[in-house]
Every structure is written in structure tokens, then in C-alpha cells.
């Protein structure tokens, strides 16, 4: 007995209702046509939601979408068709007591549909084809009135290749698409294309698997082969070859049991065996090997099937390389990332297509700039895909500048539009991305000096190295800068890292701070990169890898590295050499867009007894106690990768005054919401400086003095209501302490 899909059961129910409404004694093929056409109703999904379970609802929706495409291809309006067909099917007979039965023509149509389905559930497409093969005169007249004189040919045109029903049902003919000009042209990749062609003409095991990371163009190479085969320039050994791409989604859709899926695969293989000119292409080959490997192996080994697969290196090693039988049957063709020069050529060929699609004009220098920006700011993606995507994003942004109904006028796509697209994608200030915009970098030193006082030698050393990286003179596979900041605590090492994040990336929150005192145990390295599989928390991101994957353009601060376990410090070797790490999940964490800052307090106890500053030849010989302590505690290979450490000096008197002024300004900002002004006399400042003295001098001692002598009494006065909002306050000395009173003439002291 024939099995019907849920959508056909729905069609039969609709046909029964149409027969009742039309007052006819039996269900005819016209009523079945009405039922099939009702699957095209736009509100069908809403109605199905009320009567069907989710699984059946999805299957019926998919079948209905296929019927809509058939009606659209035939040029038949379903609503007008139903209206006309009901007019010729309406009878005047009495309505019987029971439901109308299926007439002879309807039963024959269902039988033909079951024969076409070959044991699978009868779908609405099978039923529609069976009805159109033997139309009644009334139905044929309705089609003719709508301008369709060959309904079967209109709904089901002749297949491009006889005897490929199953292959074309579950895939697409790439060669036919190439002949119709519907495939993109292959640009470059001539050697890979030749390698693929040589493999396909082998006598035995003529099977290839394209192995490459996502975005390198594996599918484009196969489409390029199909385009080559559709031209007179095709190699003689491959003349007449057709490439069929199988869709695993189509093979799996609608199958309820594994046996049904295997039956479909066997049917496809049977057609491929009968047509030696066929080459079957399976994208994401690893997704089907688990279920079909035992079916494919014999056909591949005996040469009955020529197959091209595409997969990633990791999946190739996991699913193919570990299976000796499969590895022998496929010849691996490794597809590497295209070079920047090749990508520029690809973009030049694609520019006319983007201009036609987006209605924009693309500048002549845009391809080179797009490749350069993609390489610099998207290190975790591969060429040519990331450069193509970047140009597409820039064109789309120009096409839809805002969410308003007014269409955008034709605009020019240049370097600024590409920089804006990159800035949005990597969440950086556009000034930081714009090609040739050196303003933020040239002003970097002055921006750092506004926050870090008395360390001009350190600021110069840092900015010189960052200028070299920005000018393209740095190593492309290493961090933008790597610095070891050493010296006494409280001299501005951490503040310099915060200032770098704000000046370069527009936000102090772009600082990823790792306190190395939390990594004193050997096993604590797993907290940075994530726990390995099998351990608690293996599904969570590491404290370093997670934030850096979210914001690859950041300042990464490893604070007080001397407190960490030596094996934790081994991570810095890979970071400084290769510019990347691999976390516990196997994901690459890029450091090429980051600035790495390491701080240390080693040797600070004797800092005041030796000259300090940026490394000199004297210090390199061992004169500096800080450098000597660094060489004694840290491994030489780590120091050699960082270069010359930047040693911070104890704060001088002038620097301490500037630090005190900054602390007072920050206190004024906190009082601004209450409209309270703060005036500090020179004597009060001198008192704070005396109480903030330390050996060696540092900013933290000043901060403690301000908190104890100024912030604490001011807080008590505000809480008791002594100074209401809007009061000007004068801070002056009173013996050995500070006194607060209402200021008669507030100033800026």
C-alpha cells in the first residue's frame, strides 16, 4: 500500500472538502489539483501551527515551498487558478450522507505517483506530476485560459541530462550552471586546478579531496573546473565530463529512518555508475563519511565513482587520515591561503560585480587597501575571503547609510570607506585604522605624558617602537610592541599601560590586565588558556584567551611577572616569537594586533643607589641593580625576545607635584556633580607632599596622603551637612594638618 507524506494527506483532505463544497459525487483529479494549489497559500504556516506537531509542520512547510516554486516556474497564479478551476468543477447534484469517494481518475493518479516515488512516501510534487500527465479536458482548458498550453512541460521541464533523476533531485549540475553563465569565474589557482584535473583522469582511484581552511576558495576551485569543462578549451581527457554537487541537506531531508537515507545514497551511486562521465562533488565531506563511508568505499576503490570532496585540515585528519582505507582512495590536494598579490587580482576582477550590485563606484586603489587592512586587522581569517568580505561590507555600508526610506545616491568607495568598515568590525576608532592617518601615533608621546609624569625616557622608548610598527617596519607575525617595564612600584608602569589603551584604542577598558601573583602554581596556566578536555571548566574561556579573542586589538598587561611560576612565563616565548597562542579548545588566539606589556618590581629595593633609565651600555654590563636582578630572575631567552627593558626612575620633586595635581583634579571631578569647587592653597600642597614622601618616592604614597589628610575629613564634612551642594571649599593648613572652610572667593588653586 502506498505511503503518503503528511503534505499529501493534507492535500487529500482539502480535495475532499472541495468536492463537498462543489456538490460533486466523487473526488476527481481537479479536486486534487485544488488541494495541491492550496499548499501555496501564504498563511499556510500559521494554519499548520494550529493543527500539526513541530516535526510534521516543518516537513509540510518544506513541501509547500517546493510547490510554490513549481507554480512560480510555470507562471501560474495559484489564487486565480483555484478560482477558475472551481468554476468548472461545480456540480448541482445532491450532497450524500457520507464523504465523497475517490474517482477512477484520482485513484490512477495516486497510483502513478506511488510508482514514481519508488517505495518512498508520495510527495505533493509526485502527485502533481501524475495529475498533469493525464489532465481532464476541463483542467486543460483552465490552464490554456491562463496561457499554459503544456502544463507538464511548464511545471516539470525536461531535465538537462537524461537518466540523472536522483543526482539532480539531491544536487545541482555545476556544468549546466556554468554553461548558463551562472557560476563565478575562477581567478588564479591554476596549479591547483591542474592538480585536480590530473587526479580525475587517473585510471584508478580518481578521487580528490581539497583540504584547506575556511575561506581559501575550495568550492570556487570546483566551480572553476565545471566552468572549464563547459568551454571548448576543456582538456581532451575530460571532454564531456559533468560535475554534480550533492547536497547532504537534500539527501537527509524528509528521511525518518537511516535506511531511507542509505537508499537515497545507493540510488545516487547507481546513477553515477551508469554515467562514467559524472564527477560527484561533496562539500564538507566529513559530514557524510560517518553514515556513508561503508557505502562509498567499494565504489571509490573499484573506480566506479569519481568523487571530489572538500574539508578542513582538522576534519581531514580526524575523519579521513585516521581511516587507512579512505586515505588510500582520496588524493589530498592542499589549498593554501592566497597571497596578497593574488587577492588584489581577485578583487580587481570582482570590482565590476560589486559596482553593479551595490550601485557604487570603487576607486582604483581600493583592492590594495582592502587586502592591506584585511591582513593587518583580521588576522584570524584567511585570504581571499576576508578581503572580499571587507570590500562587500564597505559597499553595503555606503548603500544603506541609515535606516531610512530614502535610497542612497551613487557614492564613491575609497580608502576612508574601507577604514570605516574595518573600524566597525574590530571596534576601533576610525582614526586608528585610516591608512596614512598618523595623527594619533604622532601625538602618542604627548598623550602619554599627560598621564605618566617624570618618565620621559620610558615614554620615548615605547613610542619609538610603536612608531616603527605603525610604519610597517615591525615584524608582521609578532605583537605590535612588547615591553618589559621595570623599576620601583608607584612610578607609573601600570599607568603607562592604561594610557596606551586609551590613546591607541580609544578606551581604557581595552586593557586586559593579568595579575601574575594569581599564577604562582604550576597548574595555574590552565586558567589563562582554559582547562584541558576532561577537567572541570573545560567548556569555559580562559582569562587571557577569552578577552583577547573578543578584542584582539588591546593592551595585554602581565603585572608583576616575577611572582608567577616559571612554567607560566614560558607562554611568553610563543607570544613574542609567533604572535599567537592556542587555547585549550584548539582555537588560535592572535597577538599580532595587541601590545604586550610586562611589569616587574625586581631590584627596586636598591633602585635609588644606581643610575636608572633606558638601557645604556653601562647598564647592559651589569651596573644597574634593576637590570642585574632581571637577568638573575628571568630566563635569558625571555629577555632576548623582549629586547632592552624599560627601567622607570623614582619620581623627582617636579613629577611628584604633577602627580599631586592630578590627584586633586580627580577629586574635583568627583565633586562636580554636587557643584562643589575645591581650592587648595600652596601651603596645603606642600604639606601633602611632605606627608607623601617615601623611599624611593612613588605616586602611591602621595595617594595615601591625599586620602588620609584631605579625602577623609572632606567626606565627614559632606556627610554631616557642613558643606551643602554648590559650596566653594578652601583647603588650607592648620598646623600639621589640613583645614576646610567655605571659600569666600573661589579660585583654581
The three cell numbers locating residue 455: 618618565
Average pLDDT rounded to a whole number, residues 612-632: 60
pLDDT in tens, 312-357: 998 888 888 888 877 888 899 999 999 999 999 999 988 988 988 8
Distance CA(482)–CA(462), nearest Å, equals 9
The C-alpha cell 610603536 sits at: 466
The residues that bridge with 101 in the sheet, in sequence order, are 26
Query: Can you give the pLDDT at residue 436?
Result: 47
Sheet architecture: strand order including 728-734 = 677-680, 728-734, 737-742
Choose between 1 and 2: higher pLDDT. Answer: 2
293 pLDDT higher than 60: yes
CATH number belonging to domain 653-742: 1.10.8.60
How many other C-beta atoms lie within 10 A of the C-beta of residue 68? 17
360 pLDDT higher than 60: yes
> What beta strand segments (E) does 53-138 contain?
101-102
pLDDT in tens, 623-665: 478 888 888 888 888 888 887 888 888 888 888 899 899 999 9
The residues that bridge with 221 in the sheet, in sequence order, are none
pLDDT in tens, 714-728: 999 999 989 888 889
pLDDT in tens, 423-440: 888 888 787 777 444 556
Query: Can you give the pLDDT at residue 97?
Result: 59
* CATH class of the region 165-334: alpha beta
Angle at the Cα of 13 from the Cα atoms of 11 and 15, rounded to 5 degrees: 70
Q: Which of 90-94, 184-188, 254-258 is modeled with the greatest confidence?
A: 184-188
The three cell numbers locating residue 269: 551511486
Average pLDDT rounded to a whole number, residues 189-195: 91
Residue ranges per structural domain of the chain = 6-155, 165-334, 340-433, 439-647, 653-742
Distance CA(593)–CA(179), nearest Å, equals 45
Helix (H, G, I), strand (E, B) or coil at 217: coil
1 pLDDT higher than 60: no
617 pLDDT higher than 50: no
Average pLDDT rounded to a whole number, residues 85-102: 72
616 pLDDT higher than 50: no
Task: Please give the CATH architecture assigned to the domain spanning 6-155.
Answer: Orthogonal Bundle (1.10)
Distance CA(262)–CA(260), nearest Å, equals 5
How many other C-beta atoms lie within 10 A of the C-beta of residue 229? 24
615 pLDDT higher than 60: no
Query: Can you give the pLDDT at residue 272?
Result: 83
Please say whether the structural domain 340-433 has been given the CATH code 2.30.110.10: no
The phi, psi pair for 11, rounded to 5°, reads -60, -40
Query: Can you give the pLDDT at residue 622?
Result: 34
Name the burial class of residue 367, with classes exposed (0-12), middle (13-18) and buried (19+) by CB atoms within 10 angstroms of its CB: buried
531 pLDDT higher than 90: no
Query: Can you give the pLDDT at residue 536?
Result: 64
> What beta strand segments (E) does 464-548 contain?
481-486, 511-515
Query: Can you give the pLDDT at residue 368?
Result: 94
pTM summary value: 0.63
90 pLDDT higher than 80: no
The residues that bridge with 11 in the sheet, in sequence order, are none
Query: Can you give the pLDDT at residue 161?
Result: 44
Average pLDDT rounded to a whole number, residues 7-15: 87
Q: Does residue 391 contact residue 370 with C-beta atoms inside 8 Å?
A: yes
Query: Can you give the pLDDT at residue 618?
Result: 41
Q: Which residues make Cβ contacts (< 8 Å) with residue 694, sequence separation at least 6?
A: 490, 700, 701
pLDDT in tens, 362-384: 999 999 999 999 988 888 788 89
Confidence category of residue 5, pLDDT binned at 50, 70, 90: confident
The three cell numbers locating residue 635: 630566563
The phi, psi pair for 369, rounded to 5°, reads -65, -40
Nearest to 184 by CA among 155, 144, 219, 214: 219
Query: Can you give the pLDDT at residue 612?
Result: 44
Query: Can you give the pLDDT at residue 209?
Result: 93
234 pLDDT higher than 90: no
Distance CA(128)–CA(64), nearest Å, equals 12
Average pLDDT rounded to a whole number, residues 123-138: 87
- Quickly name the fold that domain 439-647 has: Rossmann fold (3.40.50)
Query: Can you give the pLDDT at residue 440?
Result: 62
> Given this chain, do its domains 165-334 and 340-433 carry the same CATH topology?
no
pLDDT in tens, 158-169: 654 435 777 888
Over the range 617-631, which residues count as b (16 or more CB within 10 Å of their CB) and which as e?
eebeeeebbbbbbbb
pLDDT in tens, 195-214: 999 999 888 778 899 999 98
The mean pLDDT value of the chain amounts to 83
Query: Can you give the pLDDT at residue 291?
Result: 61
The three cell numbers locating residue 142: 483552465
Angle at the Cα of 168 from the Cα atoms of 162 and 173, rounded to 5 degrees: 90
Query: Can you give the pLDDT at residue 485?
Result: 92
Residue 262 vs residues 249, 291, 295, 300: alpha-carbon distances, Å? 14, 8, 8, 16
Confidence category of residue 613, pLDDT binned at 50, 70, 90: very low
The three cell numbers locating residue 546: 577569552
Confidence category of residue 619, pLDDT binned at 50, 70, 90: very low
Q: Does residue 433 contact residue 422 with C-beta atoms inside 8 Å?
A: yes
Amino acid at each position: 500500500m502506498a505511503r503518503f507524506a503528511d503534505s499529501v494527506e493534507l492535500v487529500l483532505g482539502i480535495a475532499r472538502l472541495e468536492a463537498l463544497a462543489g456538490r460533486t459525487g466523487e473526488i476527481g483529479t481537479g479536486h486534487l489539483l485544488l488541494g495541491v494549489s492550496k499548499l501555496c497559500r501564504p498563511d499556510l504556516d500559521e494554519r499548520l501551527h494550529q493543527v500539526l506537531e513541530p516535526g510534521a509542520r516543518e516537513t509540510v512547510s518544506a513541501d509547500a515551498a517546493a510547490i510554490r516554486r513549481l507554480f512560480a516556474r510555470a507562471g501560474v497564479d495559484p489564487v486565480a487558478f483555484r478560482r477558475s478551476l472551481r468554476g468548472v468543477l461545480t456540480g448541482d447534484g445532491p450532497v450524500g450522507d457520507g464523504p465523497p469517494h475517490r474517482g477512477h481518475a484520482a485513484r490512477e493518479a495516486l497510483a502513478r505517483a506511488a510508482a514514481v516515488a519508488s517505495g518512498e512516501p508520495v510527495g505533493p510534487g509526485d502527485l502533481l506530476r501524475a495529475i498533469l500527465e493525464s489532465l481532464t479536458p476541463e483542467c486543460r482548458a483552465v490552464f490554456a485560459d491562463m496561457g499554459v498550453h503544456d502544463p507538464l512541460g511548464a511545471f516539470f521541464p525536461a531535465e538537462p541530462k537524461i537518466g540523472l533523476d536522483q543526482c539532480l533531485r539531491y544536487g545541482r549540475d555545476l556544468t549546466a550552471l556554468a554553461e548558463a553563465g551562472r557560476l563565478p569565474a575562477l581567478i588564479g589557482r591554476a596549479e591547483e586546478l591542474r592538480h585536480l584535473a590530473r587526479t580525475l583522469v587517473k585510471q584508478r582511484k580518481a578521487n580528490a579531496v581539497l583540504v584547506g581552511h575556511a575561506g581559501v576558495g575550495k568550492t570556487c576551485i570546483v566551480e572553476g573546473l565545471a566552468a572549464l569543462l563547459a568551454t571548448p578549451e576543456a582538456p581532451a581527457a575530460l571532454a564531456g565530463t559533468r560535475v554534480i554537487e550533492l547536497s547532504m541537506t537534500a539527501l537527509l531531508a524528509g528521511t525518518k529512518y537511516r535506511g531511507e537515507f542509505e537508499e537515497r545514497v545507493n540510488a545516487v551511486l547507481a546513477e553515477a555508475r551508469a554515467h562514467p562521465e559524472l564527477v560527484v562533488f561533496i562539500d564538507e565531506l566529513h559530514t557524510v563519511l560517518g553514515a556513508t563511508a561503508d557505502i562509498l568505499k567499494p565504489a571509490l576503490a573499484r573506480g566506479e565513482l569519481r568523487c571530489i570532496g572538500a574539508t578542513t585540515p582538522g576534519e581531514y585528519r580526524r575523519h579521513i587520515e585516521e581511516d587507512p582505507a579512505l586515505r588510500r582512495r582520496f588524493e589530498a590536494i592542499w589549498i593554501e591561503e592566497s597571497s596578497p598579490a593574488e587577492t588584489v587580482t581577485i578583487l580587481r576582477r570582482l570590482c565590476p560585480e560589486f559596482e553593479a550590485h551595490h550601485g557604487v563606484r570603487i576607486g582604483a586603489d581600493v583592492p590594495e587597501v582592502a587586502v592591506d587592512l584585511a591582513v593587518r586587522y583580521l588576522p584570524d581569517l584567511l585570504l581571499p575571503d576576508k578581503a572580499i568580505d571587507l570590500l562587500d561590507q564597505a559597499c553595503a555600508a555606503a548603500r544603506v547609510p541609515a535606516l531610512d526610506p530614502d535610497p542612497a545616491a551613487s557614492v564613491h568607495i575609497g580608502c576612508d570607506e574601507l577604514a570605516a568598515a574595518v573600524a566597525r568590525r574590530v571596534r576601533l576608532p576610525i582614526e586608528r585604522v585610516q591608512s596614512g592617518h598618523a595623527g594619533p601615533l604622532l601625538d602618542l608621546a604627548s598623550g602619554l605624558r599627560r598621564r605618566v609624569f617624570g618618565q620621559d625616557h620610558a615614554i620615548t622608548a615605547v613610542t619609538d617602537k610603536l612608531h616603527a610598527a605603525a610604519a610597517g617596519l615591525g615584524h608582521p607575525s609578532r605583537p605590535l610592541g612588547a615591553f618589559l617595564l621595570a623599576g620601583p612600584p608607584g612610578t607609573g608602569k601600570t599607568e603607562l599601560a592604561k594610557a596606551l589603551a586609551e590613546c591607541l584604542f580609544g578606551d581604557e577598558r581595552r586593557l586586559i590586565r593579568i595579575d601574575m601573583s594569581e599564577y604562582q602554581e604550576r597548574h595555574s596556566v590552565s586558567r589563562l588558556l582554559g582547562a584541558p578536555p576532561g577537567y572541570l571548566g573545560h567548556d569555559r574561556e580562559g582569562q587571557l584567551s577569552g578577552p583577547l579573542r573578543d578584542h584582539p586589538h588591546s593592551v595585554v598587561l602581565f603585572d608583576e611577572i616575577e611572582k608567577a611560576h616559571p612554567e607560566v612565563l614560558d607562554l611568553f616565548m610563543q607570544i613574542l616569537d609567533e604572535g599567537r597562542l592556542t587555547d585549550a579548545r584548539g582555537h588560535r588566539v592572535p597577538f599580532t594586533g595587541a601590545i604586550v606589556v610586562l611589569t616587574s618590581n625586581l631590584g627596586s629595593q636598591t633602585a635609588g643607589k644606581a643610575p636608572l633609565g633606558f638601557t645604556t651600555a653601562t647598564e647592559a654590563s651589569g651596573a644597574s641593580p634593576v637590570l642585574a636582578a632581571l637577568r638573575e630572575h628571568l630566563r635569558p631567552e625571555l629577555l632576548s625576545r623582549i629586547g632592552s627593558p624599560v627601567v622607570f626612575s623614582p619620581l623627582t620633586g617636579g613629577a611628584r607635584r604633577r602627580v599631586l595635581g592630578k590627584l586633586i583634579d580627580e577629586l574635583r571631578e568627583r565633586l562636580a556633580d554636587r557643584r562643589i569647587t575645591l581650592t587648595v592653597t600652596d601651603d596645603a600642597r606642600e604639606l601633602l607632599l611632605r606627608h607623601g614622601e617615601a623611599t624611593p618616592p612613588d605616586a602611591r604614597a602621595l595617594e595615601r596622603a591625599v586620602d588620609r589628610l584631605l579625602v577623609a575629613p572632606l567626606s565627614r564634612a559632606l556627610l554631616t551637612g557642613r558643606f551643602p551642594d554648590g559650596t566653594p571649599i578652601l583647603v588650607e593648613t592648620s598646623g600639621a594638618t589640613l583645614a576646610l572652610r567655605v571659600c569666600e572667593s573661589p579660585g583654581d588653586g
